[in-house]
Amino acid sequence: MKKLLIKLSLLSAFAFASAPSYAYMNNGVWINDMKSLFARNQAIIMAINIRTFNANDKDKNDIVEIEKGETPGYFTNAINRLDELQKMNINTVHLLPITPVGKVKATGTAGSLYAISSFTQLNPQLDDPSNNLTVSQEAKKFIDECHKRNIRVIVDLPSCGSYDMYLARPNLFAKGKDGQPVVPADWTDVRLFKVQNEDGSLNDELFVEYKKYVDMMQKLGVDGIRADVATSKPFEFWQKLISYAKGKDKQFLFLAEASESWNEPVAEGAPFTPYYKLLEAGFDGWYGSFMNFKDWKTSDKFEKEIGLVESVKKEFAAKNQPKSVIGSFATHDELSPIITGGMPFSEMIIWLQATLPINSYFVDGFQTGDSYQYQYANQKADKTYTDDDYYYVHKGKFDIFNYSRKPGMKNDDLVQDFTLANKFKLMSTEILNKGQIKFLKTSNENVFAYELKYNASSILVILNKDLVYPSSVEVPLKGFVPDKYMVIPFKIDSEPKFKKGKVSIDLKPGEISVILMSKHSDSSNK
């Protein structure tokens, strides 16, 4: 903790590092600024599953057994963890779906969060039976408590419906040549919505349900929506829905789960709208392709991705339509970074998100090094709340199918680094928002380096992408003269050596270094 305080003091004293000050409350009334925060690359988002967020697994077998007196996550007990998120500098939570889930042809003993069975209700699984409040009142209280802590709330909008919903509302669903509802991809517990009629017009009956969902979320005080598999709806659908939502709240964020690396529909004959058209339809942001970062051996693909992101943002900014992207390095669909590359890879992801002109995105448990391994994984269940009697999970990934333990593990060093990096991002907002990023050539192809400059200040990042072997490297710094700069090695394990026009450093496997540099005031114009 002493090291953390010293670094924060250095950051506070740094030339560009002044923490932004915004008024979030007006006479006790929350003022939504989600779209503006996102456009400034300042959102630090934590994805949480209310059903497990603060669950109490007393016997530590990883499954929450309600019949034995164990407590799953509710909106009410989720409030108890909000101070923890605030201390880690999280300013936005992404609630994985909070709508009711299907129980027929289900996946997992509690049902997948993404197998929606109603657009107009909240999941009764999240209703705390120990009080007399409705689940909607509990959700509203949770959102209000988030806002009191300057934490914004975006909520997931699932892309498909459960089989239960198909049986009750078949007109909402697409049918294949065999007359049966369409199973998208390999998601056997959901069916594809019928978004368009045969003549190409929108299915008004489905669109009305989406509007009702938006109405319910905005009534609860939600600040935005993350659209699951947004590519599976046509341009006209999203343009109409987003216009409707933003007509009531201009700051209401729409984040598209979409990547420029996706180019196929989720099912034969299904719509497919590429990420760029989604942005044209009114989405404020997209996912990018950062989930592929783990496979990039050299920096060219990384540089290309950042170049694409910056190009798209610049193009839309010229139209006065600010857009941005999230750091989709480790979503709930991805393997835990601890499994992929251990502590070094997790730290690398933390600091990349803190030093790139993107919005940070994490899944609960990342900050403590959870590998999302569950003792019960894919075993037959003693108790189920669906027609699936197996504890279905994606091994090494966030559990969205069962009443499982809260994400956890214990890695104090990672938590401290996570907290520090998030603070760094918030205090460096001007350079991240207005600076120019430049990738630097290195003497080692395994080492990536980039510099983000604004006025007389810059952030220099050097990382060893090789998670097995150490790397020694020299990085050229054009125009750099040591005695003309204040240099603060902020996130380092290995000491960098600065000489005129270059820096050299010996990096451990997976090590990332973050260095702050600023010209002395008497040389800033020389």
DSSP 423-465: HHHHHTHHHHHH-EEEE---SSTTEEEEEEEETTEEEEEEEE-
The Cα 340–Cα 188 span in angstroms is 27
End-to-end CA distance of the chain: 39
In this predicted model, which residue has the larger pLDDT, 326 or 269?
326
- The domain that holds 498 is classified in CATH as 2.60.40.1180
Tokens of 515: 């260095």
Do 451 and 462 form a contact (C-beta atoms < 8 A)?
Answer: no
In a domain, residue 6? The reply is no
The Cα 346–Cα 341 span in angstroms is 7
Output the pLDDT for position 442. 93
Residue 288 has pLDDT above 80, yes or no: yes
Domain count, the chain: 2
Identify whether residues 264 and 407 lie together within a single domain: yes
Residue type, 445: E
Output the pLDDT for position 494. 83
Q: What share of the chain in percent tops pLDDT 90? A: 84
pLDDT (mean) for 19-41: 78
In a domain, residue 12? The reply is no
Tokens of 232: 């599976």
Domain containing 453: what range? 436-519
Residue type, 152: R
The Cα 11–Cα 171 span in angstroms is 57
Cα 264 to its chain centre, rounded Å, is 23
Nearest of 321, 330, 329, 283 to residue 305 by alpha carbon: 329
Residue 157 has pLDDT above 90, yes or no: yes
Identify whether residues 463 and 422 lie together within a single domain: no
In a domain, residue 91? The reply is yes
Quickly list H helices, 318-447. 337-355, 412-427, 429-434
Quickly list H helices, 169-285. 204-220, 235-248, 275-281
Question: Of the candidates 389, 409, 427, which is a domain's last residue?
Answer: 427
In a domain, residue 418? The reply is yes
Identify whether residues 304 and 383 lie together within a single domain: yes
pLDDT (mean) for 356-371: 96
Which stretch of 17-21, 284-288, 307-311, 422-426 has the lowest confidence by average pLDDT? 17-21
Tokens of 380: 């037959």
- The domain that holds 46 is classified in CATH as 3.20.20.80
Identify whether residues 143 and 58 lie together within a single domain: yes
Tokens of 323: 């857009």
Do 86 and 149 form a contact (C-beta atoms < 8 A)?
Answer: yes
Average pLDDT over all residues of the chain? 92
Output the pLDDT for position 372. 95
Give the pLDDT band of residue 302 (cuts 50, 70, 90): very high
Residue 17 has pLDDT above 50, yes or no: no
Question: Of the candidates 405, 427, 449, which is a domain's last residue?
Answer: 427
Output the pLDDT for position 6. 46
Identify whether residues 120 and 243 lie together within a single domain: yes
